[in-house]
Amino acid sequence: MSTTVEKFDEWAVVEIMGHKKFAGHVTEHAMGGASFVRIDVPEITLDNGQKLAAFTKLFGTGSVYCISPCTEETAKAFAARFMAESFSRFEAPRLPAPNPSEPDGPVSEMRTCHECESNFVGYSHLCPDCEVHASDDPTGF
């Protein structure tokens, strides 16, 4: 008896750990001996004309809570509704631009926290305490 294994290759809405949702073309991806779920989210144009760039995410199979196969049109409609982007603000903070007069990059300096107005030494716009609280915020802001 032979068994045929089909590779998953469909448009779908994917829920990650029951918290985040992505919609796009979903396939299997193997890398380094591990299996991943690959989601290719298409470029989306919002009602206001703003465009969100297409991007790809790879998730370990244990992170996937649910996959709902659907049509391409449905996946694109959900992608527009979710307004997912490749990175969120809290995932990719902006770093200060290097100062050309400093060959090894910027030196930490005294700053005032934008949140609590306390003084601290560092590179961020938030003091270490406010950065911790910001990372706990589920909205990412």
Work out the average pLDDT over 115-130: 75
Res. 101 pLDDT band, cuts 50 70 90 = low
* Percentage of the chain modeled with pLDDT above 90: 37
Would the pLDDT of 140 be above 50?
no
Give yes or no for residue 104 having a pLDDT over 80: no
CA quadruple 100, 101, 105, 111: dihedral sign:
negative
> What confidence tier does 51 reach under pLDDT thresholds 50, 70, 90?
confident
- Coil vs helix vs strand at 67: strand
**Looking at the DSSP assignment, which residues form a beta bridge with residue 31?**
34
pLDDT above 70 as % of the chain: 71
CA–CA separation, 125 vs 130, rounded Å?
10
The residue written with tokens 């391409």 in the block is 72
Dihedral through CA 50, CA 54, CA 58, CA 63, nearest 10?
30
pTM of the full predicted structure?
0.58
